[in-house]
Chains A and B, each alone.
Chain A
């Protein structure tokens, strides 16, 4: 008896997905196209020199946006090490100087030498001169 039943057309297992995909596309496309159509009719484009200009909080833009900034942050770091961090270490060094062993003294002098090198270098760079 089963053979006499009407045979349904063979449906591809992915057909539903396809239908949903098309529906999703149309669902998004309709409002977008309506908005586009409305803008065409009732929102005519009126470009202008100032309207298209770069926004600079109302001021006129000057110069090129692609400028290279020479921050040289390392200079600040070196000067900070010399004048701030070094002082922090020098104070206990000076306080305990008489009781220090020779090895400790040499270690401290090496530390000082490293920073003095930095100071000389910063001096040569002209960082310490006010302009």
Chain B
């Protein structure tokens, strides 16, 4: 529906909407995160759900202890190479549509432990990340901001057309390959379908 027409109608007291908007409005206000914390960022995540910051205002207080009921994976903390296969498998076990917030420097890039032999340099090497939050750890407000950014993304998702999200494209597989914890780190070291190495992108 044309945006101008909609604002014009609303001036006359007529509220017009589409099924798509209604659907996305419902979805974005009931995103259920997976109960799942990896390191110190998880403490901030827990604080976000508590009364002072109150993530419940955004309909996301229901942390689900099973991936079957969760829509959102908040990767909160350092992902070690030992843990990465489990994280990817949990992501695969979540029903679609599903979203990922990479919370904190470690989840984005390995952070202060980037040079560690056992630290994954960002979870976006294996699963698609929707929102990255920098910080070490990010404050609860930052997580709330990321959550609002995610809500914004959800409300803009289209149900039809070429730009529809991945889960509506029947030909794309629902699962991402789980890396193996091998002798010399993870095998493969990254999923090239998901991960776009910034250095390579810069070089062209």
Contacts and interface: CB of A to CB of B under 8 A. Distances in A.
A104 to B, nearest CB: 58
Interface of A: 38, 42-44, 46-51, 53, 55, 57-60
Given A42-B168, A53-B93, A55-B66, A48 B86 contact: no
B170 to A, nearest CB: 6
B87 A51 contact: no
A38 B159 CA distance: 11
A42 B22 CA distance: 13
Interface string B169-197: 01001110010000000000000000000
B96 A46 contact: yes
Nearest to B173: A48
B167 interface: yes
A46 B89 contact: no
Contacts, number: 46
Contact of A47 (B85, B87, B174): B174
B175 A48 contact: yes
Nearest to B177: A50
A51 B92 contact: yes
Interface in B73-103: 85-87, 89-90, 92-93, 95-96
A114 B70 CA distance: 58
B86 A57 contact: yes
Given A42-B23, A44-B168, A46-B96, A51 B86 contact: no
Contact of A50 (B95, B170, B178): B178
Interface centre among B86, B89, B92 (most CB of A within 10 A): B89
Contacts of B87: 58
B89 A58 contact: yes
A42 B20 CA distance: 10
Nearest to B19: A38
B134 interface: no
B173 to A, nearest CB: 7
A57 B87 CA distance: 9
A46 B165 CA distance: 14
Nearest to B68: A55
A44 B67 CA distance: 18
A69 to B, nearest CB: 24
B93 A55 contact: yes
Contacts of A50: 89, 92-93, 175, 178
